[in-house]
Structure 1
Amino acid sequence: MNENELKKRHFYRAKEEAKFADNSEISTPQTSDPAYRLAFQDKDFLLREELRPVRFQLELLKPEMLLEEAGIESTLVIYGSARIPEPAKADALMDAATDDRSREIAGRLKEKSKFYDEARKLARIASECGIVEPDGKRHFVVCSGGGPSIMEAANRGAQDVGKESIGLNIVLPHEQAPNIYVTPSLSFQFHYFALRKMHFLIRARAVAAFPGGFGTFDELFELITLIQTGKIEPLPIVLFGKDFWNRVINFEELMLEGTISPSDLDLFHIVDDAEEGWDIIRKFYDLPCG
């Protein structure tokens, strides 16, 4: 073999350069100072305030590249509370309640525990649909926030039928870990909420929003705003829990107050069960499975 044959690359790759730069056997004042580290290996440098734009770019690129390499073309995004228990654990909340207010809250959470099963069922239906293009690109891969409760149910439903699912976790001041049902190679951790929300929607072809709090509302209303203002094309948005959504938000009054248009009420659908929700998605895209 000719050592001087033409090659695709003339420069060494970054991994190779990093090995060349390993000066562990050489210890001098110069090589020991942080200034001598390669910039891309210098964690302290990368965490400087001035490097925030670089960290933004890295947090955008890493999930995008890995999802592309995994052949994930589109997703079914499932939003929802981190506090709603699965039915088997709902009674424990009631037992822990110590006063009237906490008992009422526990009771309402117990009522909503049925949506854990509905989220799990929806994820199972979408995953079983298993739309795969000839080139291997996969569609309607389940994607959640990677946390507990409704998010856990989403990832669990995909695992029930042996399919992969995505978890987009967020670093918080209190301890947080991805639920055990997220596919490990598709489990991502974010520092920036903005980048996390962007990744929820880059591949989303349908979104299901289950009962939730500030986080769920933030994610849902940003999506509705993007469609309302024409920043993205319409896609199915399915809200689960008629009693919940009609009680906590009076969409009709928003319209009557003139702050949204009557047609804005058509941007989403409110349902109670997984079959009805998936049917809306299926009909929107004329999917072969139902």
Structure 2
Amino acid sequence: MDTPQVNLTARNFPSAEQEAHALREPGRYAGPGSSYRLAFTDTDFLLREELRPVRMQLELLKPELVQAEQGIESTIVIFGSARVLPPEVAGQRLEQARAHGDAAAIARAETALAMSQFYDEARRFAALVTERSRTLDTPIYVVTGGGPGIMEAGNRGAFDVGGKSIGLNIVLPHEQEPNAYITPELCFQFHYFALRKMHFVMRSIALVCFPGGFGTLDELFETMTLIQTGKSRRRPILLFGRAFWEKLINFQHLVDTGMISPGDVNLFHFVESAEDAWARLAAYYGFDAAPTETGEFADDI
């Protein structure tokens, strides 16, 4: 009599992973020009020009599946320059510039030290988000571009309070290492800018933008365009440092010349501190409200 089968959901066929690990290529067909390898283990095949749609799908799926497995449903995106230094580093560079007596270098170092305040605020804000959201039904995770500067500060703030954070790195002509504060299992690398930007907004409940250059502006305006055109749900967009942003972009000029509607300037708000930013988010989402104002009885109020 056959032994009873107790696992009614056992696989009928070996998985692709099992076969990939078990496969031993015959010596005659193990060379670089051989087509014997399984298609999904053949890197040369996957990198062919014709396989671009497959690679794009993989870049969409990998971060999506990993974050779902980690239970990540809500994120706050922190954008900002990779060139903003930690205050201690900026201070050291100013001392070095003064020691050499180069007026131009001193001026640049003084500016860098002044801008380093945003590193501190990004770090404090990320810590605040991570700490305050722990008690929410859906914790909020900080996500950055994974590089240095403001990105490092965001991941570092979450790390400071023992929280997880996400880094979405991109392959660039100049080598860029992930910063040391990203949660390893949530550190991703992208080839396609478009898919990386999609992952920034897919789970985000807010965009927090610190001073930055072309990349920061690209990410900011794409998100604002998605909301303005109704392609994406409305969510808070917070710009740190009113003086920086108003000097950089004349939003009122866009209104006056009819390039945007008067109401479009309400797509974003200026903030100056980590506490100010959290207060904006808390007011929008009711984070700090009593349970009866945010839970199943909220409609009665």
TM-score, normalised by the number of residues in structure 2 = 0.88
Other-structure match for 2:116: 113
User: Aligned pair in 2 of structure 1 residues 254, 101: CA closer, same or farther (>3 Å)?
Assistant: farther
The amino acid that maps onto 2:126 is A
Alignment of structure 1 residues 152-191 onto 2, 5 Å = 152-191=152-191
The alignment yields a C-alpha RMSD, in angstroms, of 2.1
C-alpha separation in 1, matches of 2:46 and 2:92: 45
- By how many angstroms is 1:6 displaced? 4.7
Query: What SS class does the counterpart of residue 27 from structure 2 fall into?
Result: coil
| Contact kept in structure 2, 1:241 and 1:272, CA below 8 Å | yes
| Structure 1: stretches of 5+ with no match in the other structure | none
User: Aligned pair in 2 of structure 1 residues 289, 88: CA closer, same or farther (>3 Å)?
Assistant: farther
Other-structure match for 1:9: 11
Other-structure match for 1:123: 126
C-alpha separation in 2, matches of 1:226 and 1:106: 37
| Contact kept in structure 2, 1:159 and 1:165, CA below 8 Å | yes
Alignment of structure 1 residues 79-228 onto 2, 5 Å = 79-94=79-94, 95-96=96-97, 101-131=104-134, 138-228=138-228
The answer to whether structure 1 residue 22 and structure 2 residue 35 are counterparts is no
User: Aligned pair in 2 of structure 1 residues 3, 34: CA closer, same or farther (>3 Å)?
Assistant: farther
TM-score, normalised by the number of residues in structure 1 = 0.92
Comparing 79-88 with 123-132, greater Cα deviation is found at: 123-132
Question: Where does structure 1 differ by over 6 angstroms across 4 or more consecutive aligned residues?
Answer: none
C-alpha separation in 2, matches of 1:4 and 1:111: 68
User: Aligned pair in 2 of structure 1 residues 265, 257: CA closer, same or farther (>3 Å)?
Assistant: same
Comparing 8-17 with 257-266, greater Cα deviation is found at: 8-17
Between the aligned residues of both structures, percent identity stands at 53
Query: What SS class does the counterpart of residue 36 from structure 1 fall into?
Result: coil
* Post-superposition CA distance 1:220-257 (Å, at most 9, x none): 00000000000011101100011110111111111111
* Post-superposition CA distance 1:27-78 (Å, at most 9, x none): 12x4544211110010011111111110000000000000000000100110
Count of matched residue positions in the alignment of Structure 1 and Structure 2: 284
* Post-superposition CA distance 1:149-199 (Å, at most 9, x none): 111111111111111111111111111111111111111111111111000
C-alpha separation in 1, matches of 2:265 and 2:134: 30
Query: What SS class does the counterpart of residue 35 from structure 1 fall into?
Result: coil
| Contact kept in structure 2, 1:129 and 1:289, CA below 8 Å | no
The amino acid that maps onto 1:36 is Y
C-alpha separation in 2, matches of 1:232 and 1:284: 17
User: Aligned pair in 2 of structure 1 residues 129, 3: CA closer, same or farther (>3 Å)?
Assistant: same
- By how many angstroms is 1:92 displaced? 3.6
- By how many angstroms is 1:2 displaced? 3.7
